[in-house]
Amino acid sequence: MPALVLLGAQWGDEGKGKATDLLGGSVDYVVRYQGGNNAGHTVVVGDQKYALHLLPSGILSPECTPVIGNGVVVDPAVLLSELSGLNERGVDTSKLLLSGNAHLITPYNVTLDKVGERFLGKRKIGTTGRGIGPTYADKINRVGIRVQDLYDESILTQKVEAALELKNQLLAKLYNRRAIDPAKIVDELLAYAEQIKPFVADTTLILNNAIDEGKVVLFEGGQGTLLDVDHGTYPFVTSSNPTAGGACTGAGVGPTKINRVIGILKAYTTRVGAGPFPTELFDEDGEKLRTIGHERGVTTGRDRRCGWFDAVIARYATRVNGLTDFFLTKLDVLTGWEQIPVCVAYEIDGKRVEELPYSQSDFHHAKPIYEMLPGWTEDISKAKTFSDLPKNAQAYVKALEEMSGAPISAIGVGPGRTETIEINSFLS
Catalytic residue among 21, 28, 41, 103: 41
Minimum CB distance to ligand GDP, residue 54 (Å): 12
Please give the residue ranges that form the binding site for ligand IMO (CB under 6 A): 8, 12-13, 38-41, 125-128, 130, 132-133, 222-224, 227, 238-239, 272-273
Instruction: Name residues contacting Mg ion, limited to 285-324 (CB under 5 A).
Output: 298
Q: Which does 412 bind (CB under 5 to 8 A by kind): Mg ion, ligand IMO, ligand GDP, none?
A: ligand GDP
The answer to whether 421 and 385 are in contact (CB under 8 A) is: yes
Which of 3, 9, 17, 66 binds ligand GDP (CB under 6 A)? It is: 17
Q: Name which of 33 and 376 has its Cβ closer to ligand IMO.
A: 33
Segment interacting with Mg ion, rule: CB under 5 A, options 21-29, 38-46, 391-399, 408-416 = 38-46
Query: What's the one-letter identity of residue 8?
Result: G
Q: Which does 232 bind (CB under 5 to 8 A by kind): ligand IMO, Mg ion, ligand GDP, none?
A: none
Which of 40, 221, 222, 245 binds Mg ion (CB under 5 A)? It is: 40
Q: Which does 128 bind (CB under 5 to 8 A by kind): ligand GDP, Mg ion, ligand IMO, none?
A: ligand IMO
Which of 50, 413, 421, 426 binds ligand GDP (CB under 6 A)? It is: 413
Q: Following DSSP, what letter does each residue of 334-366 receive, concatenated?
A: GTT-SEEEEEEEEEETTEEE-S--S-HHHHHH-
Which has the closest alpha carbon to 89: 117, 127, 50? 50
The answer to whether 238 and 132 are in contact (CB under 8 A) is: yes
**Helix 391-404 and helix 311-321: axis angle, to 10°?**
50
Minimum CB distance to Mg ion, residue 160 (Å): 31
Q: Which does 38 bind (CB under 5 to 8 A by kind): ligand IMO, ligand GDP, Mg ion, none?
A: ligand IMO
- Residue 374 CB contacts under 8 Å (≥ 6 apart), including other chains: 338, 339, 340, 392, 395
Determine, following the binding rule CB under 5 A, whether residue 221 of this chain makes contact with Mg ion. Answer: no
User: Rounded to whole angstroms, what are the CA distances from 41 to 72, 96, 286, 378, 413?
Assistant: 15, 17, 22, 28, 17
Number of neighbouring beta carbons within 10 Å of residue 300? 16
Minimum CB distance to ligand GDP, residue 216 (Å): 20
The DSSP output letter for 327 is: E
The answer to whether 190 and 153 are in contact (CB under 8 A) is: yes
Catalytic site includes residue 41: yes
Determine, following the binding rule CB under 6 A, whether residue 304 of this chain makes contact with ligand GDP. Answer: no
The Cα 406–Cα 404 span in angstroms is: 6
Q: How far is CA 389 from the centre of its chain?
A: 29
User: Rounded to whole angstroms, what are the CA distances from 311 to 162, 278, 306, 353, 402?
Assistant: 47, 11, 15, 12, 9
Q: Residue 218 in 3-state DSSP?
A: strand
Determine, following the binding rule CB under 6 A, whether residue 412 of this chain makes contact with ligand GDP. Answer: yes
Determine, following the binding rule CB under 5 A, whether residue 15 of this chain makes contact with Mg ion. Answer: no
Determine, following the binding rule CB under 6 A, whether residue 333 of this chain makes contact with ligand GDP. Answer: yes
Determine, following the binding rule CB under 5 A, whether residue 13 of this chain makes contact with Mg ion. Answer: yes
Query: What's the one-letter identity of residue 265?
Result: L
Minimum CB distance to Mg ion, residue 223 (Å): 8
With 0-12 / 13-18 / 19 or more C-beta atoms within 10 angstroms meaning exposed / middle / buried, residue 369 is middle
**Helix 153-169 and helix 107-120: axis angle, to 10°?**
20
Minimum CB distance to ligand IMO, residue 38 (Å): 4
The Cα 357–Cα 234 span in angstroms is: 12
With 0-12 / 13-18 / 19 or more C-beta atoms within 10 angstroms meaning exposed / middle / buried, residue 400 is buried
Minimum CB distance to ligand IMO, residue 10 (Å): 9
Residues near ligand GDP (CB under 6 A), total: 22
Minimum CB distance to ligand IMO, residue 392 (Å): 29
Catalytic site includes residue 113: no
Determine, following the binding rule CB under 6 A, whether residue 423 of this chain makes contact with ligand GDP. Answer: no
Which of 4, 5, 6, 18 binds ligand GDP (CB under 6 A)? It is: 18
Binding site for Mg ion (CB under 5 A): 13, 40, 298
Residues carrying an active site annotation: 13, 41
Binding site for ligand GDP (CB under 6 A): 8, 12-18, 40-42, 44, 294, 298, 329-330, 332-333, 412-415
